[in-house]
Each structure stands twice: as C-alpha cells, then as structure tokens.
Amino acid sequence: MRREIGMMKMLTFTTIVDEVAPWRPELRLFNFGEPLMHPGLGEMIRYAKLRGLAANFQTNGVLLDDNRSIALLESGVTYVGVSVNGLTESEYESIRPGCRLDDIRENVRHLRETAARMGISVHIHINAQILADESNSRRGDMERYIRYWEGIPDTLSVSGISLFDNIAVMKTGISSKISQSSLPRKDQANIVCTEPFDRLVIKWDGRITPCCADYDARLVLGQIGNQTLEEVWRGRTMADLRRMIEQKKYDSSELCRSCPKLYSHEFTMLFRKNINAQNEKIAK
Ligand code: SF4
C-alpha cells in the first residue's frame, strides 16, 4: 500500500453518519487498517448507535485487552469480527512474528466473559484465511481449528485469501510473496462483483472510493466535506463503473483489471455456535 495512513477525525465520521442515517446502512469501521488502534472507536460506535445505525468492525484481536473490551461493550457494539491468519498456532505465528494465537484466543474469551458479566449481547465471529487451493487438503487443520475455538465465538469461518498483488501469503507453512502476474487469471466473463452496487468505501482522510479492493484509493470519487455521498452514489463515475461490471468488461477499467477477484478463488465455510468437529455441518 502506497497511500498515506492516518486516523479518521471525529468530524469526518459524524459528517458521514449524519448524512447516511436516514438510509440506515450498516457501517463497517475498517478497511486496510486496525480499528482498535483508533482511540475514538468506542465514541464512533456510540455516535452511530445514537443515530440509529449498527456499526461493526473486524480486528486482528491483538489490542483487544480488558480496557478496550469494556469500552467497546459500553459503546453498544453488537458484532465483533476477529481475523486470524491461518488455521494453526505455528502458521499464525510465522505470519505475525511476535504475536501468539493463544493470546488472541484469551483476548476473545475475555471479551465473551466480560459481555456475559455486563449482561450485554454481542456476536463474536472468528475468521481464518487460507489459500483457496488448500481448502481440501487441510481438512485436518480445519477440524483442529474448530476445536481450538470451541465454546468462545458465536460463529467461526474459513475463507479464501484475496490475492492482492505481491501479498505475502502462507502456503503449507512457508511464507512467500505472490505476484499476480504469476497466477492464472480467471475469465472476466465469470467474475461477479456487487461492490459498487451496495457500498461506498471512505478512507480515513475522507476520500470516497467505490470498493474494498481499491486499497490505494486509485479511483477517488469525491471527498467528505466537498461532495455529499448521495452525489457520489448517483454520480457519473459510479454509473460508468456499474455499467462496465454489468457488461463484464473488467479489463476496460484500470482499477478492476488488477482486482483480486480476477485471480482469487473466493470461498467461505461457515461453522455455527458451539462448534464440534464431529457433528457440525460445513456450509459453503
Ligand atoms: S476493483 Fe472493480 S471488480 Fe474489484 S471489487 Fe472493485 S469494483 Fe469490483
């Protein structure tokens, strides 16, 4: 990622919330950043709730300590997603040197217990990402992963990693960088993208972009404070992008022609509450 990084100001956030509140969208407070690093996360969730909006986020769980857990629960959060890299402790720890998966599990367990003690209902979801081509060969690790998290989250999933260019990935225990040019490209006629039809993605500095895949803000549609979100949503650039997607002409867009959707095999396996490797059904 080459764009500048930073923290969204509260004024930017409240401007967004005030504008979208009548439409009741779901707010997802993350995009290529770690939300728990933002000191105002609880305040943001509380403000969104005051305006009648549900706000959730996805975290790596490293900073989910006692104080943050309590602050988040007091803010009114109703859903916390935790992403872990890989299925096993050793895999996780080689992708995130210096971090331990056992610590993440203890953080999540503590969030669960604190919520119960405070009488607060919060849905906790854990997701592990792996390479799609390993989804069949790693059934044993998946059963172990299910047992490892048993009794803590409400739901658990395994999904295919999105292959952004040069992303460092683990392949059967070996960390490596993968370049998109080394991967087989899917036929654009088979690609389905719904993102510009159901969301806008706003960077920390208020720049408005069309989708989660635009991590470097290459297609900036507007700026909070200069345009309304409705103007952007109904604007020419979004209309052109949607038309291009309907016509399956991804190659004609500079942004879309390098989208991970053209290189990654997307899948999600979802496991339900109180998972048990023997009797739980795997839903694809
Ligand atoms: S880059 Fe294009 S194809 Fe990929 S998610 Fe964004 S809009 Fe969809």
Rounded Cα distance between 94 and 171, Å, is 11
> Stretch 156-180: mean pLDDT, rounded?
67
- 242, 256, 257, 266, best to mutate for ligand 1 pocket (most atoms within 8 Å of CB): 256
Interval between CA 184 and ligand 1 midpoint (Å) = 18
Token pair listed for 34? 């770690």
Rounded Cα distance between 134 and 50, Å, is 44
For residue 255, the ligand 1 atom closest to its alpha carbon is 1
Query: Does the beta carbon of 256 lie inside 6 Å of ligand 1?
Result: yes
pLDDT in tens, 238-275: 999 999 999 999 999 999 998 988 887 777 888 765 54
Token pair listed for 18? 């005030």
Query: Does the beta carbon of 210 lie inside 6 Å of ligand 1?
Result: yes
Query: Does the beta carbon of 213 lie inside 6 Å of ligand 1?
Result: yes
Dihedral angle sign, alpha carbons of residues 192, 197, 199, 201:
positive
Query: Does the beta carbon of 250 lie inside 6 Å of ligand 1?
Result: yes
How many Å from the N-terminal Cα to the C-terminal Cα in the chain?
31
DSSP-assigned letter for residue 192 = -
Query: Does the beta carbon of 255 lie inside 6 Å of ligand 1?
Result: yes
Interval between CA 250 and ligand 1 midpoint (Å) = 8
DSSP-assigned letter for residue 227 = B
Query: Does the beta carbon of 221 lie inside 6 Å of ligand 1?
Result: no
Higher pLDDT, 3 or 263: 3
What confidence score (pLDDT) does residue 153 get? 96
What confidence score (pLDDT) does residue 276 get? 43
Query: Does the beta carbon of 211 lie inside 6 Å of ligand 1?
Result: yes
What confidence score (pLDDT) does residue 266 get? 72
Model confidence at 279, pLDDT cuts 50, 70, 90, reads very low
Residue 43 exposed, middle or buried by CB count within 10 Å (0-12, 13-18, 19+):
middle
What confidence score (pLDDT) does residue 167 get? 59
Model confidence at 169, pLDDT cuts 50, 70, 90, reads low
> Stretch 217-225: mean pLDDT, rounded?
97
